[in-house]
Each structure stands twice: as structure tokens, then as C-alpha cells.
């Protein structure tokens, strides 16, 4: 245990703090990758909506750490162009499931948020797991 950290006074980040953590994770991604994310909104919520769980056939909201919604480049979507009635491409990060996962694994919270963010953005681009791993490594 790190003697410099007073764990008795720490608490889990609230939604606003988690949003800042997600923004820091995004800002730490390679510049070219960030530039190519133009038009992809990043949203943070405590838990996924029931509709999201139903779509994916999941029973527990804690089974979903993040989600990409939209028409990704891999599916023929064009950056910055929306079809009639099409919602903007969006990456969702779910605070409570991520915190739950973090509590059960040996990773820093910052690394985990970056991992989920890169993975979900990777769906937008149609990236392979190897591509996503290289981007995470470049993020530090």
C-alpha cells in the first residue's frame, strides 16, 4: 500500500470528476487519433439505460462499461455528416460499472477509463484489438 495516500479520506469520483477523468483520457490520446474523432461525442452516465441493455441482451447494468452508438466509419459513416434523423456518433462511458470493474482488478482508474474509451472509439473506426492496443500504449 502506498504510504503517501490516505485511503481513509478518499472516495469514488462523482459524475463531474469522472467526466474530467474521461476528458483527461481523451486529451492524452495521440493527436491524429483525436483529430479523427471529430464529430464523436463522449458522454458519461452512472449506468446504461435499460434500452441499451435490452439492445445488447444484457441483464445487469454492470456488464457494460462503455458503448459506441452511431454509424461508425467502418459501417460507411462519414465524419461530420449526419443522415436525416440520425443522432450524432456517441461514446458512452458508464461510471459505476467502470468503478466496479476497477475495484476487482489491478489497474489504475485512469488506465481503465482510457482503455474503455479507446475500445469504444475503436468501434467507430473499425479498429482491430492490436490497433487499439497500440493507441493505448501511445497514450501512456
pLDDT digits (tens, 9 = 90+) for 48-76: 999 999 999 999 999 999 999 887 655 55
What DSSP character marks residue 126?
T
Closest CA to 96 of 87, 84, 104: 104
pLDDT at 87: 66
Nearest one of 75, 57, 64 to 123, comparing CA atoms: 75
Burial of residue 84 (number of CB atoms within 10 Å: 0-12, 13-18, 19+): exposed
Give the pLDDT confidence score for residue 82 in this predicted structure: 47
Positions of the chain with pLDDT under 50:
79, 82, 84
| Number of residues in the chain | 140
10 Å Cβ neighbour count for 90? 16
Q: 12-73+86-139 in CATH: which number?
A: 3.30.2010.20
Amino acid at each position: 500500500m502506498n504510504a503517501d495516500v490516505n485511503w481513509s479520506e478518499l472516495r469514488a469520483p462523482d459524475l463531474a470528476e469522472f467526466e474530467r477523468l474521461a476528458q483527461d483520457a481523451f486529451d492524452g490520446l495521440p493527436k491524429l487519433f483525436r483529430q479523427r474523432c471529430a464529430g464523436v461525442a463522449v458522454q458519461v452516465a452512472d449506468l446504461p439505460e435499460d434500452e441499451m441493455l435490452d439492445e445488447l441482451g444484457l441483464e445487469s447494468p454492470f456488464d457494460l462499461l462503455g458503448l459506441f452508438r452511431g454509424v461508425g466509419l467502418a459501417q460507411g459513416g462519414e465524419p461530420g455528416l449526419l443522415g436525416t434523423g440520425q443522432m450524432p456518433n456517441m461514446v458512452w462511458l458508464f461510471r459505476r460499472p467502470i468503478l466496479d470493474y476497477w475495484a476487482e482488478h489491478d489497474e489504475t482508474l485512469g488506465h481503465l477509463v482510457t482503455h474503455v474509451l479507446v475500445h469504444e472509439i475503436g468501434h467507430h473506426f473499425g479498429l482491430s484489438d492490436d490497433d487499439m492496443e497500440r493507441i493505448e500504449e501511445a497514450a501512456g
